[in-house]
Each structure stands twice: as structure tokens, then as C-alpha cells.
Structure 1
Amino acid sequence: MATPYELTGRRNQKARTRTALVDAARELLSRGTTPTVEDAAEAAAVSRTTAYRYFPNQRALLAAAYPEIDQVSLLPTDPPDDPAQRLDLLLHATNRIVRDWEMQLRAALRLSLEPESDPTGPVLRRGRVIDWLADALEPLATTHPQLDRDRLAVAIRAATGIEAFVWLVDVARYDREDALATMHWNGVAILRTALRDGGP
């Protein structure tokens, strides 16, 4: 296996360059731009040739800037079988993403609301949370096969995403931690109700 460029020679300097490129990509994301390698290089005052040594393509850059971008699950390696426990773990993870990526997610939300825009166009608005929820709720296929897990995942996502967070913070005037706690409660409550009364 080839050694990554930044791990060969002058490692401290290369680490700083890589960090500058990642920081530049995150800043561009926060402005609503999906950066190319060239965009990040220009913003970080790094040559394009150098930038491509770290990130051979846009996907590699975005995966470094937003580590969850390619993950099919946010659950730990050996997750519990209980869907409520799995959902609890996932909601902690997605709340952390909202907390850490609030500005970028707000920018993506703004872009998706523009006339004639593709709502899933921005890189941070491509439905990954639904897949993560489906993964968390997968045991219901055996324990509660009558539940429509797809609709349940959508119901939970609607009450726990950046849209709910923005409303809670900007309209309801919750502080950010209260908003995140409310979103977590929403998700748990929706699952509890579905298990008791049937899903949406």
C-alpha cells in the first residue's frame, strides 16, 4: 500500500498544509459552496499541484472535511440489537453533527430553498441521515415486521434534523443544547409511539 503523501518527509509542515486545505473546504461549505480541490487550494493559498498531492479529487477533499460523508452507519462496530438503544446512539451522533456543522448545514439548507434549486444538490443535503436511521431501525424488520420502517425513518428525520434545529433556535428561541435535547427526545418519542401504536 502506498504511503500517503503527507506521511512522507517534513511531516509537520505537510500536516499544516493538509489542515489548511481542510479548513478552507469547511469555510467554503459554510458559505454554501461545494468546493473543488482548486477552490480549497486558492482559499488556503496553496498551489493546485500541491493540493492534488493531498486530495486527488473533490470526493477525497469533502470526505476529509466532512468525515461522515461516506459512512453507511454511525453506530459503533458492535452495536446493540435493541432498536431503541441503536436509535439513542444514532441521535447522539447526528446531534453532534448538527452542533459541529451548524453553519455548513444552515448554508446547505438555504441553498436547497432557493427557487428552482435541487433540494438534495448541496453536498450536506443528500439524505444520508435516512440511511443511518434505516440502519439503526433494521432490527424492527424481525421484531416488528408490520411497521413501515421507511416511513418511520422519515418521521424521525423530520423531527430531528437541521430544519427542526433552526426552528427551535431561531423561532422558539431555545438555546442550542436545549434544541438538541428536544430533537433527541422527539426521535425517541416517535419510536416509542410507533412500537406502541404502530408507525405513521
Structure 2
Amino acid sequence: MRTREALIDAAITLAKEGRQPTIAEVAEAARVSPATAYRYFPNPQSLWADMASQQQTRRQDFFRVLDELEGGPSERIGAMVRRTAEMQFTDEALWRNILRATLERWFEQRDLPEAERVPVRGNTRLALARAALEPLNDRLTPEQMDRLVNAVGLVFGVEAIVSTRDTCGLDAEAATDLMVWSAQALVQQALAEAEGQAPQPD
């Protein structure tokens, strides 16, 4: 376990420098042999997946936000999105590298039959959104809740960081505010539709 942790720590350190290290480079930084590193991580994709999981697990204050959420669904989703953005902006280079690795995994599998492909992303983001929106369970149908959770998943996370920073040209603070505003606007739209006060989009 110590060797595995050392490899992940080394990979995270290199990724924060804006690099996308190979298994051999991570092994060198962790001061273990490449053969040992490959026993733990047979390919870069497996390493990047564990890096993302490890980075989130270490942010215990981030996960505790779900127990600390107060107010209505709009306030809860806003607090969750803001905490996520703050956490990811702290290590923006790392998260951009993780995104790059997931895109490469998609390209590597694009010619494989669907049944043989492995997921390129986890569903932590959707799980967080669903937990924050839990008070809406008695106000939205399961179908409406699923659509809202999926929609909120589009406006925060690393892809939203890329869009707000690179396309919109916003700094981290303004980008975070926009993510929060977008998530809360989606909650308001979902509630309006559920109450028959707004037409559903085509």
C-alpha cells in the first residue's frame, strides 16, 4: 500500500506541474523500479483514474460539505458547486490532466464494440448533485429529478472549468460564480416546470 501511495503522490506532484507523466517517469519520481510501478498500474489510464479518486478522497472537507448543506435546494446546490469549483481550481493543472487522460481513453476505445469498452469517467459528480438536490425528491418525479441532476452535471466540474476559463475568458472567481448561477437557474427552471409555471423546452 505504501508503494501504491508513493506512486500516486509522485504522479499528482508531476501533474500539478502541468505534466502528463508516463509510468516510467512516475516510478523514477517515486524512487521505485518501473517493473514495480507497472505491477500496480499497467497503463497510464489506471494511474490517472486512481489519481482522481485519491485527490478527491484527500479533500475530506469537500465531502463533508454534503453533511453541512443548509437551506433550500438552490442554496444546497450552490454551496456544493462552489466547493467543488474551489477544490478543482486549487489544482487546475491536475484536473486538466485528468480530463486529457479521459479523452485519450475514449479515443483508444472508439473502435471497440460497445460491450468491450470500459467507462472513461466515474459518476461522482452526479452523485454529489443528487445528494445536494435530495430535498426535491418529493417535488419532482423521478424522471424530472434525473433530468435536473444530469443538467446540473453539465455546469460544474472540470469541463465547466475549461469552458468558463478558455471560452468565456473568466478568472477563477467569476467562473465559480457563473457555475453556481447556472446550477441554481436549472433548479428554478425544474421547479417552475414541475409546478406548471413554465413551458418545457423542446
TM bin (shorter chain): 0.5 to 0.7
User: 1:193 Cα deviation (Å)?
Assistant: 1.3
- Match for 1:45 among 26, 31, 47? 31
Match in the other structure for 1:12: none
What secondary structure, in the 3-state scheme, does the structure 2 residue paired with 1:159 have? coil
Q: What is the deviation of 1:98?
A: 2.0
**Equivalent residue letter for 1:157:** G
Flag the 1:75–1:89 CA change in 2: closer, same or farther, 3 A.
same
Which residue matches 2:113? none
Aligned-residue sequence identity (percent) comes to 28
Query: 1:95 and 2:85 equivalent?
Result: yes
1:109 has 2:105 as partner: no
* Equivalence for 2:44: none
2:112 aligned partner: none
Q: Which residue of 2 aligns with 1:153?
A: 149
Decide which of 142, 154, 160 is 1:164's aligned counterpart.
Answer: 160
Q: 2:169 aligns with which of 144, 159, 173?
A: 173
Secondary structure of 1:75's partner?
helix
Residue 128 in structure 1 maps to residue 118 in structure 2: no
Structure 1 residues 169, 68: closer, same or farther in 2, change over 3 A?
same
After superposition, the CA RMSD in angstroms is 4.1
Supply the distance in 2 between the matched residues of 1:91 and 1:182 (Cα, whole angstroms).
Answer: 10
Q: Distance in 2 between matches of 1:60 and 1:106?
A: 15
Partners in 2 of 1:195 and 1:75 — Cα distance?
24
Question: 1:162: how far off?
Answer: 1.5
Displacement of 1:81: 6.0
**Aligned-pair CA distance for 1:169:** 1.2
Counterparts in 2 of 1:140 and 1:91: CA distance versus 1, 3 Å: same
Stretch of structure 1 that moved more, 185-194 or 98-107: 98-107
- Cα drift, residue 47 of structure 1: 8.5
Q: Deviations over 1:129-180 (max 9, x none)?
A: 1011111111211233466212211101112222122122112222222112
Identify the range of structure 1 (64-73 vs 107-116) with the bigger mean alpha-carbon deviation: 64-73
Gapped regions of structure 1 (runs ≥ 5): 6-18, 49-57
Structure 2's unaligned 5+ residue stretches are 35-46, 110-116, 195-199
What's the TM-score, normalizing by structure 1? 0.65
Give the structure 2 partner of residue 24 of structure 1: 10
TM-score, with structure 2 as normaliser: 0.64
CA contact (8 A) 2:82 2:176 kept: no
Name which of 171, 180, 187 aligns with 1:184: 180
Tell me how far apart the structure 1 counterparts of residues 142 and 50 of structure 2 sit (CA, whole Å): 40
Q: 1:126 to 1:39 in 2, by over 3 A?
A: farther
Give distance in 2, aligned partners of 1:46 and 1:157: 38
| C-alpha displacement of 1:77 | 2.9
Distance in 2 (alpha carbons) for counterparts of 1:74 and 1:62: 18
